[in-house]
Structures are given as C-alpha cells and as structure tokens.
Chains A and B, each alone.
Chain A
Amino acid sequence: MNRRLSPFILTMLCLGFAFLYVPIILMVVYSFNASRLVTVWDSVHSPTLKWYVELMSNGEVLEAARLSFKVAALNATGSTILGTLAAFCLVRFGKFRGRSLFVGLTTAPMVLPEVITGLSMLLVFVAMEQVIGWPAGRGATTITIAHMTFCLAYVTVVVQARLSTFDRSLEEAALDLGARPAKVFFVITLPIIAPSVVSGWLLAFILSWDDLVITSFVSGPGSTTLPQLIFSKVRLGVSPDINALATLLVLTVTIAVIGVGLALQRRERRLVLEAEEAREVPA
C-alpha cells in the first residue's frame, strides 16, 4: 500500500519504538562509562572497556554463565523432543481419551504465573526426594526439569502451528511407498517441519536462559544461574559491570535474531524465484 501514514500514527510509532529502545541504548552507552557512578558520564576517561575486562575476569559471573548455558541447552533439547511429540499427538491422533486434559496441560504453563509454577515444582521435588530419594537436593537437574516443563508448552505451540498446515498426504504417500510410521516421521515429517522445531529449540533456550523466578524456587545452594546473579546485584542498584554484561547479552541476541531473520528472508526469496523460473518453462 502506498497510502501515507497519518501524522498521529507516525508519531505514535516513533514514540513507541523510542520507548522500547531508548532504555536499552542508554544501558549500552553507559557500559562504556568510566565512572563508577553509573548515571554520571565521565567524559575524561570515557569511553572505556574497563568494565568488560573486569567482567571477563569475574569468576562468579563466568561460572553462572556456564551453568545457565548448560541448563538452557539441556532444557532446549529435552523440551523440543517432548514438545514435538506433544504437538504431533495433538495434531495427528484426533480424538483420544484424555485429550482435553492434555490440551490443558500443554497450554497452562504459559498462562500460569511463574511464582506458582516455581513453588509447585519445588514442592514436587521435595516430595519426590522424601518418597524415592531423587532428585537428591536441588541444582542443575531440578532447574532443567522445571524449565523443560514450562518450555515444553511453548515448543508445542510453535510446532503445532506448523504441523496443522502440514499436507497430510505427504505422510500417507510415504506410508504408501512402503515406509513404516516411525520412519515416515523421521524421513518425511521431521525434515519438513525442521524450521519450526529449530525455532522451538531457540525459543526454549532463550526462555530458560532468561528465567529468574522459577529458577529461584528450584535451585539450591551452589547453583546460581546468570539471571539469579544479575538479580542479586540489581537489588543493590545500578552497577557498570551489569551494564557491560547486559550489552554483551543484548548484542548477542540481536545479532542472532537478525541473522536468522535475514537467512529466512533470503530462503523465502530464493524459493519464490525458483518457482517463478519453473513456471516459465513449458511443461
């Protein structure tokens, strides 16, 4: 459409995006500020990389980042497997006994306040430890299990959306040509829905990497994730090394998201182009 946007809409767009981005940009700028008083710009010694250097030598931060990464990767893999299975059941199995409960269980974790999810998870871990002796204490294992449970729901939604537009006759064609159901899933279904599975994995990774509330309930002494560490520092006020850390995290995610976005766009364009070429050649 070529119609011009009205001045009101244009103003609101600018205001909205300024609102979304000014705080982040300022945080990035202040991460290069030499002064320890974060809000005062030390124009003599700035910009400086000293907070980044300090960050890289901070063992506590590195340890927390390592744990967060481990939990996020394990969780993403686990919840992607479970979520893909769940989505497959919801789309392919039609009506089965207990379906409505299953639908509820796969959507509720997204709606439930995190404080409730966290509390209930902790209580079940405590109960399980009393009854079967596992998991002994709380740490990376319990954090991963808790994250998997709520991330599973998000993966299910993403994969389910793709599967419900999936041409079912592709699977039937593979069955018809002699492939067994399990093989059909791995050779036909999975490769075709792969982009949504990968998005599900990334989403689960990010959700887990970011999570503070649920983690705080189910983590034990000695297992501090990056968000927990940041939170404990944030409660004491602004500190320049958090600005530096935040900048690193924001930049990484931004580059990753833009990269994925561009790759998808290019792929889309190539497919359209190739399809147009095919149409020009007479059959």
Chain B
Amino acid sequence: MPPYVRIDRVTKRFGSQAAVNDVSLDITKGEIFCLLGASGCGKTTLLRMLAGFETPSTGQIWIDGVDVTHVPPYERPVNMMFQSYALFPHLTVENNVAFGLRQDGLPAGEIRDRVAEMLAMVELKGYERRRPHQLSGGQRQRVALARALVKRPKLLLLDEPLGALDRKLRERTQFELVSIQERLGVTFVIVTHDQEEAMTLATRIGVMSAGEILQVGAPTEVYEYPNSRFVADFIGSVNLFEGRLLDDEPDHVRIECTELGYPIYVDHGISSSPDAKVSVALRPEKISLSRETPAAVPGRQPENIAAGMVTDVAYLGEVSRYLITLDGGRKVRVSQPNLHRHAERIGWDERVWLSWEPSAPVVLTQ
C-alpha cells in the first residue's frame, strides 16, 4: 500500500537559513504521527507546509496520491487545529464550526446536522450560541477540534494541541483526543515539544532537530533504541558514556570505559570495526543500587558495574532520584522505584554499587 502522506525530499529556506532540510517522511492512513523537537527545530514549518501556508523551496508533498506541493490551503483536504485555537471572536461557537462547511457550499440542513453531531461529540451541546470569549480554555480547545474535524479532512494537523491547557486538563484531554481519533479514523499529525505528550498520543514519533528528522519510530522504539546521542538525550533522561570497542561478536560486544572503571557488556552485536570509539546510553531507571558488591557472572571478569558515593537524593514519591559520583569523578543519574514503604533507603554520602543487565545499555555509533 502506498503511503497516505508522502513528504519527499522537502527543503524550506528562509533567506539563507534552511528551516527544514531535505526531509523525507511517509505517514500511513489512520495513524497519529507526532513531530517532536525543541522550538526552532523546523517542526512547525513542516506542519505549515502540510497545511499549505508555506511552499517548499524544493521537494514535493503528496496526500492520498495527489501532489499538493503548490495547492493553496483553501483547496487542500487538510485541516488544522491552531496552537492559539484561532477561533473567530466575532462568530458564535456554532458559526465557528459551520464556517468550513459553508465555504464548501453545503445545503443548510446538512450543515446544521453535521455541526450538531460534532458539538455532541466534543460534549459542547448547549454552547452553540456562545462566543469564544465566553468559553473556558478547555471548551475553546474542543471548539477548535470540532471546527477542524467537521470537514472530515484527510489529514488533521494539530499544533501543540494541549500546550495552552493546565496539567490536569491536559491529561484528560490526551485520552479524549485519542478516542475521537479512533472513532473517526482521521490521520493526525501533531507537533509538540513535550515528549510526554508525544509518548502518550503517538503511534509513531519523528524526532526533529535543526531542520532534520533524526529518528522515526514507535514511542518504545525511540525510547529504548535511540539511534543517536541527540535522540537518547532529548527523550527522557540518560547517562552517556564514551568507550572503545574491545570485542565485537555477532551476539555481544564488550566496551572499555575508563569513566566507569569496569567494562560494559552488551548482549547484542553492532556493526562497527573493533577499536572504534562509541557512545553508550544508559537510562537512570535501568541501573540498580546496592550497598553490597554485586556478584560477577561465574567465569568472567566483573562487568556492568561501577562504584561511587551518593552526592544527592531527591525523594519524589513513586521514585527516588540519585546523583552518584563515581570513583573516577564522573556523575551518574540513577532512579529507583520506591517499592517498599518501610525500606531503609540509601541516603547521602553512602558508598554504593551500581549494576545493570546486559540488555540495558544502548551502543550509539553516531
């Protein structure tokens, strides 16, 4: 099956600056695709090119088999939910939602029915005659969603859809958004800088930086198997170590790491030449702390361990975060779930051992 949305080698330059640099991306029908990146990474520009507000400098955009690269926004089968919601302040809720249908010249009866149906779906029945300034933030967000969805677009673009809501409301709305998407089967493209938002909403995430897409994959994929130092560092929290490949077998690799004082053993192979310099990413929650020296695997040198002093502890309820200074001076972040209420927790200035499973580290050659 051909991809539903195809972005083909698109570059957008503003002056000499490339906001989006040679990006290619396929999006399949019915998925929720998240463009994740820091502000200024080009994600919004890419979204605006999908909407038709910007024209690519080079490259093409195809939607459902049609080249829309030069089609103006008002002729595209695409609708957008704006970050500011962009509700027309001089129109009622009803007329805001009906606006798009009126542009298509649909009969009045059909417009009425579809608007009513949509308002029922976003639970805004009874608010038809209100103006945007008479609504709360959450209600405005739902009007904006209804207005963008009522035209049954092939593609719905959402620019930081939850950015303007407070934390409690945001969590509730995330699930509502997903359930509406599942019911209507519309393809969503969401732009966000909030990785938690991307992880909960997306079927796939595209991580962007400096106008380029670094990695595309399911949330678990980009978290567990980041393909670069940037992605590993950007999504979640991570400890990055520098090392040198000792042996490189098809089923495992061993890495010498002076910062840790012990070698790292990883239970999967990578394609790289021996002696190559590599980075190793290790998530804080994948490290265990103990007061005793961990037992080495029989018949092998001690590996996947390190020793240090606790320099900082933060008790956050569900987890505790530790900052450990290794004997070599390197600082490592560790988080431990608080499984037992009465456990004697490791505290300041204790000497501890760190250890992890051979499956935990990710070797980054980039």
Contacts and interface: CB of A to CB of B under 8 A. Distances in A.
Interface of A: 167, 169-170, 172-181, 183, 188, 191-192, 271, 274-275, 277-279, 281-283
A169 B89 CA distance: 12
A180 B136 contact: no
- For the complex of A and B, the 3 pairs showing the least CB-CB separation, nearest first, are A283-B138, A177-B100, A178-B103
Contacts of B147: 173, 177
Contacts, number: 83
Contacts of A271: 133
Given A173-B82, A176-B73, A275 B88 contact: no
A177 B101 CA distance: 8
Contacts of B103: 177-179, 183
Say whether chain A's binding surface is mostly helix, strand, loop, or mixed.
Answer: helix
B220 interface: no
Contacts of A177: 74, 79, 99-100, 103, 147, 151
Interface string B71-89: 0111110111011101111
Contacts of A167: 84, 86
A175 B88 contact: no
A168 to B, nearest CB: 9
Interface string B138-181: 11000000011001000000000000000001000000000000
B134 interface: yes
Contacts of B136: 278-279, 281-283
A169 B86 contact: yes
A178 B151 contact: yes
A195 B78 CA distance: 33
A268 to B, nearest CB: 12
A282 B135 CA distance: 10
Nearest to A277: B134
User: Could you say which interface size class chain B belongs to?
Assistant: 35 or more
Contacts of B86: 167, 169-170, 172-173
A189 B308 CA distance: 64
A278 B76 CA distance: 35
B139 A283 contact: yes
B104 A172 contact: no
B72 A174 contact: no
Given A172-B86, A177-B100, A180-B74, A275 B80 contact: no
A277 B127 CA distance: 14
B99 A278 contact: no
Contacts of A170: 86, 88-89
A275 B84 contact: no
A157 B76 CA distance: 35
B88 A188 contact: yes
A277 B258 CA distance: 64
B46 to A, nearest CB: 16
Given A170-B89, A183-B103, A278-B133, 10 more contacts: A169-B83, A172-B80, A173-B80, A173-B88, A177-B103, A177-B151, A178-B151, A179-B99, A279-B136, A283-B138
A279 B136 CA distance: 5
A273 to B, nearest CB: 10
A271 B75 CA distance: 35
B185 interface: no
B51 interface: yes
Contacts of B130: 278
B315 interface: no
A159 to B, nearest CB: 17
Nearest to A177: B100
B68 to A, nearest CB: 13
A278 B80 CA distance: 25
A275 B134 contact: yes
B137 interface: yes
Given A167-B86, A169-B82, A178 B100 contact: yes
From A170, A271, A277, A283, name the one whose CB has the most chain B CB atoms within 10 angstroms.
Answer: A283
A181 B75 CA distance: 11
A176 B80 CA distance: 7
B117 to A, nearest CB: 17
A86 B55 CA distance: 26
Nearest to B139: A283
Contacts of A277: 134
Contacts of B230: none
Contact of B73 (A172, A188, A275): A172
B291 to A, nearest CB: 49
B44 to A, nearest CB: 11
Contact of B133 (A176, A178, A179, A274): A274
Interface in B232-276: none
A148 B271 CA distance: 76
A173 B83 CA distance: 11
A183 to B, nearest CB: 8
Contacts of B52: 175-176
